[in-house]
Structure 1
Amino acid sequence: MKYAVLRVILLVLLPVCAVFGQSALPDSSFRDQAVRYAHNRYVGSTLDQARIYNGAEYVGHSPRIKGHPYLDSLWQVGSITYDGIVYDNIRLLYDLVDDVVVVPHLDSVYRVRLQSIKVSRFSIPNHTVVRMVSDTAAKNGLRTGFYDQLYDGRLKVLAKRNKTIQTEFVQNTAKEEYLIHNSYYIGKNGVYYSVKSKRSVLNLMADQKKALRRYLRENRIKFSENREIAIVKLTQQYDAFSR
């Protein structure tokens, strides 16, 4: 794949030179625009044969289950890095039950279940999702899977979102619905720690604990009202204090 991209870059450099050569752009600016142009040409010309559409069919779940299994109930247009290639303006679904990314096939009504091992990251409105791989040697504290990146500073904040199917029997009739579960992790020095309470977060930031408690009081931030926002705000503030 890398060699194919390189050949395309070489093939399109001459027309790119003709387009951009009339303006006095710095070398780095010209190079960046040339690479972007070549990349877009390559992806556009091979889209119907792109690897992103060569996965297995996604069957999905029973329509009788109450709710939906996805991060967002509707198709979202975003970007995805798949097998080392960035695809923009791609329609995506993220199945939280199976922890897989789904795209619609270009030439058919069926949906494609992408190979998770080839998905590095994807972005849709309000979410940037990255694939993390468990590293027992480094003891990074995470299971392999997709994580919603909530904050990416000196410290990191990730959310692991998943849905389960709850079944109840009412008058001998099975009723099912999706339940969502969110787990949160703070990354510090390459290791991710599970955090559930205000205490667990502050314990990771012990050198600024007093200042952070004061920050919570002054800004009336309560974990009981929105744990996710509280974790992100505390992490951001810790980074600000540590500059």
Structure 2
Amino acid sequence: MITTYRLLTTAGLFLTLSKGAFSQALNDSSYIAAASQNLTNFYLSQQRESSSIFNGRYYFDHISLHDNEHTFFGNGQFVQGSITSEGYSYNDLDVAYDIVRDELIVIGPDKKSKVIVNPKFVESFFVQGHTFINLKTDTESEEQIPSGYYDLLHKGPSVLLAKRQKKVHESVNQFDVKRNASVNDRYYLLRDSVFRQVKTKGDLVNLFGTNRSQIQQYIKTNKLNFKKEKERSILRVVGYFDSIKN
């Protein structure tokens, strides 16, 4: 956090105008607004650089994958995103999400270092058009899903989350070790205040209780294919259920 001394120093610099210039500035509302905004921007930049999101461990590319594969969510690149931490939203950050290790990485203020954001400081983050929430649960309970980052796919009367994951597979021959990553996403629907995993079409239908027949008819009418388009199909069904319950 920025110190009182630094704020007072900045304020002092702002006020070191000549008497004439200061008098003129008082009559110029646009000048006052601009100066005020500059002071605010300075404060926010100092607060951002000293934020706890940059105080994690350094990140190193830990797995060498074949065929241009990567361990990140999305396109495998650091892209602009935002992080909400301790009640503050930090925008225009260069971030990436490692879904093998479930780690959020940010480029540090030096524009070079890669830092793993300590999850205890993260409430949510936004990257590549997706909002991820940091779910902290009691993993000792069999009814709870594991703590971690979850993609918020749908938020309404129903809440649908996706756990983005990649699994690394190794094949060994006499010359080298080949590593490839496969997507292993999991889906959870909040029902009766508990997140239930949705593995199959049957799992999903059974979660809707007395509305099962309506859901089954909707799936049939819209020719939803849970094997080829699992995520899209689940989203369509959840959206439909919320529409008939409203």
| Equivalent in the alignment of 2:227 | 224
| Equivalent in the alignment of 1:179 | 182
SS of the counterpart of 2:168? Answer: strand
Distance 1:63 1:107 in 2: 26
SS of the counterpart of 1:58? Answer: coil
SS of the counterpart of 1:123? Answer: strand
Which one of the candidate residues 67, 70, 75 is aligned to 1:68?
A: 70
Task: Give the drift of 1:43.
Answer: 2.5
Task: Give the drift of 1:122.
Answer: 0.4
- In 2, are the aligned partners of 1:140 and 1:190 still within 8 Å (CA)? no
The more displaced of 165-174 and 121-130 is 165-174
- In 2, are the aligned partners of 1:139 and 1:191 still within 8 Å (CA)? no
| Equivalent in the alignment of 2:21 | none
- In 1, are the aligned partners of 2:215 and 2:241 still within 8 Å (CA)? yes
TM-score when normalising by structure 2: 0.78
Question: Per the alignment, do residues 222 and 62 of structure 1 end up closer, same or farther by CA in structure 2, a change over 3 Å counting?
Answer: closer
| Equivalent in the alignment of 2:214 | 211
Distance 2:191 2:126 in 1: 23
CA deviation map 1:131-162 (0-9, x unaligned): 11113688752101011111011111111111
Question: Per the alignment, do residues 132 and 184 of structure 1 end up closer, same or farther by CA in structure 2, a change over 3 Å counting?
Answer: same
CA deviation map 1:172-216 (0-9, x unaligned): 421111222111100123210011111110111022111111111
| Equivalent in the alignment of 1:143 | 146
SS of the counterpart of 1:43? Answer: helix
Distance 1:74 1:158 in 2: 23
The more displaced of 74-83 and 192-201 is 74-83
Distance 1:148 1:38 in 2: 36
The number of residues matched between the two structures is 221
Which consecutive residues of structure 1, in runs of 5 or more, have no partner in the other structure? Answer: 12-17, 20-36
CA deviation map 1:80-117 (0-9, x unaligned): 11233210111110001111100111215221111012
Question: Per the alignment, do residues 133 and 114 of structure 1 end up closer, same or farther by CA in structure 2, a change over 3 Å counting?
Answer: same
| Equivalent in the alignment of 1:58 | 59
| Equivalent in the alignment of 2:238 | 235
The alignment's C-alpha RMSD in Å is: 3.2
SS of the counterpart of 1:57? Answer: coil
Identity across matched positions, percent = 25
Which consecutive residues of structure 2, in runs of 5 or more, have no partner in the other structure? Answer: 12-28, 31-37
Q: Which amino acid aligns with 1:196?
A: K
- Rg: which structure is higher? 2
CA deviation map 1:55-81 (0-9, x unaligned): 211112234544100002111211111
Distance 2:90 2:134 in 1: 16
Distance 1:136 1:96 in 2: 19
Q: Which amino acid aligns with 2:207?
A: L
Distance 1:63 1:168 in 2: 13
The more displaced of 82-91 and 154-163 is 82-91
SS of the counterpart of 1:230? Answer: helix
TM-score when normalising by structure 1: 0.79
| Equivalent in the alignment of 2:47 | 46
Distance 1:192 1:164 in 2: 23
Greater strand share, structure number:
1
Equivalent residues in 2 for 1:31-180 (5 A)? 42-66=43-67, 67-72=69-74, 73-107=76-110, 109-135=112-138, 141-180=144-183
